[in-house]
Structure 1
Amino acid sequence: MKSLIEFYQHLGWALSLLVMMTFVLAGTVKGMIGLGLPTVAMGLLGLAIAPVQAAALLIIPSIVTNVWQLAIGGQLKVLIKRLWPMQLAIFFGTGLGVLWLSVDSASEVVRGLGAALLLYALSGLFLPALRVPVSAERWAGPMCGLITGVITSATGVFVIPSVPYLQALGLSKNQLVQALGLPFSVSTLALAAGLYWRGKLGGGELNASLLALLPAMLGMWLGQCLRERISATLFKRVFFIGMALLGTHLLISG
């Protein structure tokens, strides 16, 4: 508690308010389309505080909102039964990546991921939807999970290729958002476990992320309320526009 108070006292009222509003916005985006909290938060907080401080603030809100996203929707058992090979491969791939690769992100890799995500979003907006046949899920899911895990360990970006794969399964909007919570939760926990094992997770600012959790959860609730009030067609458009903005951010700031 002392370190939490000291952290926000050091920031001052103006920056502390920026932190709270940023997490409300980031949580709203995540509640609406199922992803984007780390990207939105890092993008805005990075303008005012050190990246290491922003990253520390993200840890608890990211984990808790991922679990919340995973738990809400009523399709958890069905999704786990369908997607567990992919999640196991994500955990395995992340572990391998943490052991073998540098945890520091290479800017070229992040920009490449941003470009891939932008192209995916544009194809989703203007081209016919891609579909993964049910018969292909047995091998496509684990392969996608393994690649996602390795990329996550090297860059901290969870979305490629897990998001395009899940979107290609033809899930409903609520199923898709809940399904996205699976790889995000597994990736976050696996990465945190790997970093802890290597002695790279910790610091007094971690406690300060507890307070950032409150506005993030408020934003998640607002975003979920908005999602329930839009049609599937509009959700698809918002989803891909969100993907395009996320890819553009990674492409520019990588």
Structure 2
Amino acid sequence: MDLFDVFSDMAATTLIAATLIILFAGFVKGAVGFAMPMIMISGLGSILPPETALAALIVPTLVTNIRQASRGGWAAAWQSVKDYRVFLIAMLILLVLSAQLVGVISSKALFLVIGVPLVAFAVLQLAGFALRLDPENRTRDEALMGGFAGFLGGMSGIWGPPTVMYLTATDAPKSAAMRVQGVIYGIGSIALLLAHLRSGVLNPSTLPLSIAAVGPALIGMWIGFKLHDRMPQATFRRAMLLVLVVAGLNLIRRGLFG
């Protein structure tokens, strides 16, 4: 199936709506570094079959994460890997181990376990009750938060919010926060691509749609980058927290209603 076949099967209104959703998802990612898959699966899932919506986000998620991680150059990306190596190592180890526990805890319970503290953390931060982690305890805190992110990620596929919580609590500079998110989510994007090539979600019928989604995602991301570059550090941090609230509320919704 080629792109013409994919688009010819869609109503014009569906195609326009899907394009706008992808543009917006790319814009948010470019501005704050995360939440693109959440926006795409929620938005596209309301106008497309669930598996089609999932397939559509796979390739643009991988491409935008690579773009995000490498925006400052590959040397800077590698430096971010070294700077956050403890977080990354702990995350990957716990991700692999906790993946074996899938099915032990219900997905609804897990969404609530992630969503409730996430919203509480973000709301308290926005209200002025700032949580700051002591730089002297960085190795310990990175190991704990990285392990927490990996533990949740292995069972639910969601490790972005805990990552953002850590970056916010350490008041990471904008450029570093964006790069390390790109690296972490990029690793997950590769795993997602391989998993769904195997599962059949990404197949000859859905792959063209996913490839076509790369264009509007990158355009939206480019616009988001422009906003990001103009944001002061304090504004960037507040924007991340606001998106965290939305992400957390979405997880709570999924935990309560599926």
TM-score range (shorter-chain normalised) is 0.7 to 0.9
Corresponding residue of 1:240 = 241
Per mean C-alpha deviation after superposition, the further-off stretch among 56-65 and 4-13 is 4-13
Shift of 1:199: 4.6
SS in 2 for 1:130: coil
Shift of 1:53: 0.8
Corresponding residue of 1:129 = 130
SS in 2 for 1:116: helix
Per mean C-alpha deviation after superposition, the further-off stretch among 12-21 and 27-36 is 12-21
Shift of 1:94: 2.6
Distance 1:239 1:147 in 2: 19
Per mean C-alpha deviation after superposition, the further-off stretch among 112-121 and 73-82 is 73-82
Q: Give the gaps of 5 or more residues in structure 2.
A: none
For the pair 1:22 / 2:21, whether they are aligned, the reply is yes
Corresponding residue of 2:89 = 88
Q: Give the gaps of 5 or more residues in structure 1.
A: none
Give the number of equivalent residue pairs: 252
Q: Structure 1's 197 and 5: CA in aligned 2 closer, same or farther, altered over 3 A?
A: closer
Distance 2:104 2:218 in 1: 28
Q: Structure 1's 138 and 212: CA in aligned 2 closer, same or farther, altered over 3 A?
A: same
Q: Which structure 2 residues correspond to residues 178-193 of structure 1 after superposition, within 5 A?
A: 178-193=179-194
SS in 2 for 1:132: coil
Answer whether contact 1:87 1:186 (CA < 8 A) is retained.
Answer: no
Q: CA offsets per residue over residues 143-192 of structure 1, 9 Å max, x none?
A: 32233223123222222422111222222222222222222122232444
Q: CA offsets per residue over residues 28-52 of structure 1, 9 Å max, x none?
A: 0111111110111111111111111
Answer whether contact 2:171 2:237 (CA < 8 A) is retained.
Answer: no
For the pair 1:148 / 2:149, whether they are aligned, the reply is yes
Corresponding residue of 1:203 = 203
Distance 1:210 1:71 in 2: 20
Q: CA offsets per residue over residues 9-29 of structure 1, 9 Å max, x none?
A: 222222122111111000001
With normalisation by structure 1, the TM-score equals: 0.88
Q: CA offsets per residue over residues 51-99 of structure 1, 9 Å max, x none?
A: 1111100101111111111111354233211112222332333333334
Distance 1:169 1:10 in 2: 48
Q: Structure 1's 25 and 190: CA in aligned 2 closer, same or farther, altered over 3 A?
A: same
Calculate percent identity across the aligned residue pairs. Answer: 25
Corresponding residue of 1:68 = 67
Q: Structure 1's 6 and 149: CA in aligned 2 closer, same or farther, altered over 3 A?
A: farther
Q: Structure 1's 56 and 103: CA in aligned 2 closer, same or farther, altered over 3 A?
A: farther
Distance 1:59 1:240 in 2: 25
Per mean C-alpha deviation after superposition, the further-off stretch among 102-111 and 44-53 is 102-111
Distance 1:13 1:105 in 2: 39
Answer whether contact 2:164 2:240 (CA < 8 A) is retained.
Answer: no
Distance 2:211 2:197 in 1: 22
Distance 2:208 2:95 in 1: 25
Structure 2 letter corresponding to 1:26: A
Answer whether contact 1:35 1:180 (CA < 8 A) is retained.
Answer: yes
Corresponding residue of 1:167 = 168
Corresponding residue of 1:55 = 54
Distance 2:167 2:200 in 1: 31
**Could you say what the CA RMSD is over the residues aligned between the two structures, in angstroms?**
2.5
Q: Structure 1's 4 and 115: CA in aligned 2 closer, same or farther, altered over 3 A?
A: farther
Corresponding residue of 1:79 = 80
Corresponding residue of 1:35 = 34
With normalisation by structure 2, the TM-score equals: 0.87
Distance 1:44 1:29 in 2: 13
Structure 2 letter corresponding to 1:234: T
SS in 1 for 2:213: helix
Distance 2:105 2:193 in 1: 14
Q: Structure 1's 87 and 160: CA in aligned 2 closer, same or farther, altered over 3 A?
A: same
Q: CA offsets per residue over residues 115-138 of structure 1, 9 Å max, x none?
A: 222112112111343222333222
Distance 1:123 1:71 in 2: 32
